Amino acid sequence: MGKVGIIGVGQSAFVRGYPGSIRELAFEGFRDAVQDAGVSSQDIDASVICSAPEYDKQRSPAGVFAEYLGLVPQPTFYMESLCSSSSMGLRVAYSLVKSGLHDVVAVIGFQKMSEISSAESQERMGRGADIQWESPFGTMMPAYYAMYARAHMEKYGTTPEDLALIRVKAATYGQVNEKAVYRKPVTFEMFSDPESPMSNPVASPLRVGDCCANADGSSCVIVASEERAKTLSQKPVWIMGLGAASTAVNLAGRDLFTGLTVAQEAGDQAYKMAGVTPKDIDVAEVHDCFTIAEMMAYENLGFAQPGEGKELIKSKATYKEGSIPVNVDGGLLSKGHPIGATGGSQLRTIVLQLRGEAGDMQVKDPEVGLVHNIGGVGLYGNVTILGR
């Protein structure tokens, strides 16, 4: 059985208030990937459609999209694992190809968060947690991650200022990423300036500047068998390792609050399958839905020892020129986080990096890249390792 390659990647611009319907939004990411791959809809044997369903008015979007994108009569189906839906979609596409069932599969992620009001959106996002035992207390995503931030600060002496540095980095690259929703700079001083919205408390110890930008967007990743990838693509990027894990939804069922066990476990699986170690990773995309999430990712993926993630950001090791560049496309913090599209967009960034096509964001000559994509509050974890 051969390898599985990525032959095309695409995404829409991530925006607030996309002026179109969800099928039209999906079309943008899909067209970008199909053109990138130099294939047509009829070269694609199956499609996996990924999003977090609670945002959509459309029931079962897969059939609607497949028709709109010219992917009928091929099989299509829906895949969801909250914010990691499209990484999970890639995992499924990999197995469809690896099994020999299909040769070419498109993974299409999307989210039109503005389909509903932002208050409704917060409430629905909160329902990705335990609705029976936690939601009745009035929980929200930022507050859950804030509890991890508090535990991390308590155990390791991490400070709100360390977290602010992560946002400053994200904004550095969001400014040069034309697909990003937040293109403005963020300075360290804004976090201590009461006049700046960045300093406003959301859920202690997290502030507005620590939270990612909601957005509408779509992404698409086209995978193919080794044989088809070599025929169809000049520069296929290979899927070297895949890891996935889950944990208790209720925080009461967990033991670790200074990191995400799903990231550790998915990372270990992916490293083992790829036959590489954290030191071999040349560029990474991590799920920075909140600044603390990136800090924990440094540690859970082995880029830093537990508690030493802050040293990476202080020394700028995770900047483009550093020893382990992370989220040099702006990350979820500045590029934006359209739930179901996020994993596909992260994969796209790494594919472009490995091909040397990342423009102003290009890291010097990377050979191995990693994507860390988390669903819910560390409920689902996916780690994918790609190589040239």
Partner 1 sequence: MGKKKEVDDRFKKFGTVSFTAITKVNDFIDYLEQGKVMASRCQTCGMVFFPPRADCYKCLTSDMEWVEVSGKGKLVSYSKLEFAPIGFGDDLPYAIALLDYGDYKVFGRIADNVPDDEIRVGMELVTRVNELPNGQLNYVFDRV
Binding site for partner 1 (CB under 8 A): 119-120, 122-123, 126-127, 130-140, 142-144, 146-151, 154, 200-206, 250-254, 257
State the nearest-atom distance from the C-beta of 97 to partner 1, in Å: 34
Q: Rounded to whole angstroms, how far apart are CA atoms 63 and 386? A: 30
Nearest to partner 1 of 57, 314 (CB atom): 57
Residue of 50, 83, 211, 289 with catalytic role:
83
What the block records as the tokens of 25 is 């939004």
State the nearest-atom distance from the C-beta of 262 to partner 1, in Å: 18
State the nearest-atom distance from the C-beta of 122 to partner 1, in Å: 5
State the nearest-atom distance from the C-beta of 156 to partner 1, in Å: 12
Rounded to 5°, the CA angle 121-179-300 comes to 70
User: What number of CA atoms fall less than 13 Å from residue 210's CA on the CB side?
Assistant: 29
User: What number of CA atoms fall less than 13 Å from residue 297's CA on the CB side?
Assistant: 31
Nearest to partner 1 of 1, 137 (CB atom): 137
- The answer to whether 337 is a known catalytic residue is yes
ω into 205 cis (within 30 of 0): yes
Nearest to partner 1 of 238, 257 (CB atom): 257
Nearest to partner 1 of 25, 190 (CB atom): 190
Q: Rounded to whole angstroms, how far apart are CA atoms 8 and 352? A: 10
Q: Rounded to whole angstroms, how far apart are CA atoms 223 and 386? A: 12
Nearest to partner 1 of 43, 210 (CB atom): 210
Nearest to partner 1 of 116, 176 (CB atom): 116
Rounded to whole angstroms, the maximal C-alpha distance in the chain is 59
- The answer to whether 289 is a known catalytic residue is no
What the block records as the tokens of 334 is 């500045």
* Residue burial 347-360, b: 16+ Cβ < 10 Å; e: rest: bbbbbbbbbeebee
State the nearest-atom distance from the C-beta of 338 to partner 1, in Å: 20
ω into 61 cis (within 30 of 0): no
State the nearest-atom distance from the C-beta of 145 to partner 1, in Å: 8
Q: Single out the residue of 283, 294, 373, 287 nearest to residue 328, CA to CA.
A: 283
Nearest to partner 1 of 115, 123 (CB atom): 123
In angstroms, what CA-CA distances link 327 with 76, 245, 340?
A: 31, 22, 18
Q: Rounded to whole angstroms, how far apart are CA atoms 67 and 240? A: 32
Q: Rounded to whole angstroms, how far apart are CA atoms 163 and 291? A: 6
Residue of 102, 152, 287, 337 with catalytic role:
337
State the nearest-atom distance from the C-beta of 118 to partner 1, in Å: 11
Catalytic amino acids?
A: 83, 337
